[in-house]
Amino acid sequence: MGALTARPHEVHLRLSEEEYRALEKNRAKCRLSQQTYLRKMCLNEKPKEQPPVDFFRVLKELQHIGINLDQIALAATRDRWIDADLYWDNVKQLEDQMHDLFEQIIL
């Protein structure tokens, strides 16, 4: 079944500059093509905004820091000691990365 038989209706739409900018701004947030974005809107499906690219970088860093904290906690439990400086350095890194992540999502 070809694309034309699946979607036999074609719609042409004229927009003002303001309407077009709004369409492009909202579409870009979702990283969808115009056609896909408009089809979802016609079906009352609210397209989901994609997180900023930095979101995934920060998330990976948070996972790395979490693994470090787990290893420190395991060593402390096993050996009954803890490297307090290393632990607090990782806590600080975690807090910094979380702050960066929240700034990316909120802005």
Summarize pLDDT for 51-81 with one digit per residue, the tens.
777 777 888 888 888 888 888 878 877 777 7
pLDDT of residue 58: 81
Two tokens, residue 94? 């975690």
Summarize pLDDT for 7-61 with one digit per residue, the tens.
898 888 899 999 999 999 999 988 899 999 999 999 999 888 887 777 778 888 8
State the CB neighbour count (10 A cutoff) for residue 73.
12
Domain coordinates in residue numbering, the chain: 7-42, 53-106
Which residues, 6+ apart, have CB-to-CB distance to 4 below 8 Å?
Answer: none
Two tokens, residue 32? 């969808």
Q: How many CA atoms lie within 13 A of 28 on its CB side?
A: 8
Amino acid, single-letter form, for residue 81: W
